[in-house]
């Protein structure tokens, strides 16, 4: 297996190289690079390695500058002293995110994970499933996990998974939780819909955004519409139109 190390600290690069040699003698470190510019040039004249071990802060910038400049298909194990770049790593082919000091045990676990993923992706059916999982993971980074509401002098964070439904009323948007708490929220339904994970929330109609975990049952209604009944009572029926009914059923099956 060919491995590329991108690291601007010679001692750290040597340590990773030595650990890899101890873990698996078939691993070959093809190059050790220390900058964005040097790495971009290297990829222009060499075949892609099987795996990359990369620091994030390099001598002339962040390693993400490399991946924005050129297409890198190799899986990457990030080795860094900072945890603030974890979200950025999800936008790449990240296998693991290791915080320094990197130990032999951490490298072994990363290699095990890499080999497991290799086996999964080599199987076509498993690869399809894995692609869906990775898409959901990636998408989840873009959506809110909490919403901030104001109640008098209080600022209250509400975990989105605690929200049962959101209703548009005459006085604005009202958030209702699984524990029957209600909060006014000063935003439009359209904005809220964009901020919430569509795997978890569905815009049933103009007035209701509903959490799949709050659904008790669905009934067929006149003219091929659906009536959604939640575990928490609502002030009016939640109707899903004939045009949306098919999408709603598919969403339930995800």
Structure tokens at 195: 């901020």
Mean pLDDT of 71-79: 90
User: For residue 145, is pLDDT > 80?
Assistant: yes
Taking only the tens place, the pLDDT of each residue in 1-55 is 999 999 999 999 999 999 999 999 999 999 999 999 999 999 999 999 999 999 9
Banded pLDDT at 164 (limits 50, 70, 90):
very high
| One domain, residues 91 and 11 | yes
What is the average pLDDT across 139-154?
76
Q: Does the pLDDT of residue 136 top 70, yes or no? A: no
119 and 151 inside one domain: no
Together in a domain, 22 and 126: yes
Regarding whether 43 and 18 lie in a shared domain, the answer is yes
pLDDT band at 140 (very low <50, low <70, confident <90, very high): very low
229 and 165 within one domain: yes
Are residues 178 and 194 located together in one domain of the fold?
A: yes
Structure tokens, 129: 């499933």
Q: What percent of the chain has pLDDT over 70?
A: 90
What is the average per-residue pLDDT within 160-186?
A: 91
β-pair type (154-159, 163-169):
unpaired
Please, which contacts does 70-75 make with residues 24 or more away whose CB atoms are closer than 8 Å?
Answer: 70/40, 70/43, 70/44, 72/43, 72/48, 73/48, 74/4, 74/48, 74/49, 74/50, 75/50, 75/51, 75/114, 75/117
Q: Which domain holds residue 125?
A: 2-140
Q: How confident is the model at residue 86 (pLDDT cuts 50, 70, 90)?
A: confident
Choosing from 106, 140, 174, the residue where a domain stops is 140
Q: How many domains does the chain have?
A: 2
Mean pLDDT of 60-89: 85
How far is 168 from 149, CA to CA, in rounded Å? 16
Signed CA dihedral, 201, 205, 208, 212: sign only: negative
Residue that is last in its domain, among 140, 172, 197: 140
Give the pLDDT score at 116.
82
Of 105, 140, 175, which one is at a domain's C-terminal end? Answer: 140
Task: Read off the pLDDT of each residue in 196-221 and give the average, rounded to a whole number.
Answer: 94
- For residue 39, what is the domain's CATH number? 3.40.50.2300
Is this structure's pTM higher than 0.95? no
Over residues 75-85, the mean pLDDT reads 85
Q: Tell how strand 238-240 and strand 226-230 pair up.
A: antiparallel
Q: What are the φ/ψ torsions at residue 85 (nearest 5 degrees)?
A: -100, 10
| Together in a domain, 151 and 240 | yes
């Amino acid at each position: 297996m060919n491995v590329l190390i991108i690291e601007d600290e010679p001692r750290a690069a040597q340590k990773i190289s030595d650990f890899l040699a101890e873990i698996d003698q078939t691993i070959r470190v093809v190059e050790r690079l220390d900058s964005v510019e040097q790495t971009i040039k290297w990829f222009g004249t060499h075949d892609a390695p099987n795996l990359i071990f990369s620091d994030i802060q390099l001598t002339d910038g962040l390693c993400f500058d490399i991946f924005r400049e050129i297409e890198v298909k190799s899986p990457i194990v990030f080795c860094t002293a900072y945890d603030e770049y974890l979200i950025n790593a999800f936008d790449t082919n990240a296998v693991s995110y290791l915080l320094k000091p990197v130990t032999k045990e951490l490298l072994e676990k990363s290699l095990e994970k890499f080999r497991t993923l290799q086996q999964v992706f080599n199987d076509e059916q498993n690869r399809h499933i894995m692609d869906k999982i990775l898409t959901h993971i990636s998408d989840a980074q873009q959506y809110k996990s909490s919403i901030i509401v104001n109640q008098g002098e209080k600022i209250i964070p509400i975990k989105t998974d605690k929200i049962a439904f959101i209703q548009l009323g005459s006085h604005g948007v009202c958030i209702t939780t699984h524990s029957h708490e209600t909060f006014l929220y000063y935003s439009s339904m359209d904005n809220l819909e964009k901020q919430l994970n569509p795997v978890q929330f569905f815009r049933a109609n103009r007035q209701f955004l509903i959490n799949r975990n709050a659904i008790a049952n669905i009934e067929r209604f006149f003219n091929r519409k659906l009536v959604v009944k939640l575990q928490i009572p609502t002030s009016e029926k939640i109707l899903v139109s004939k045009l949306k009914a098919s999408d709603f059923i598919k969403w339930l099956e995800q």
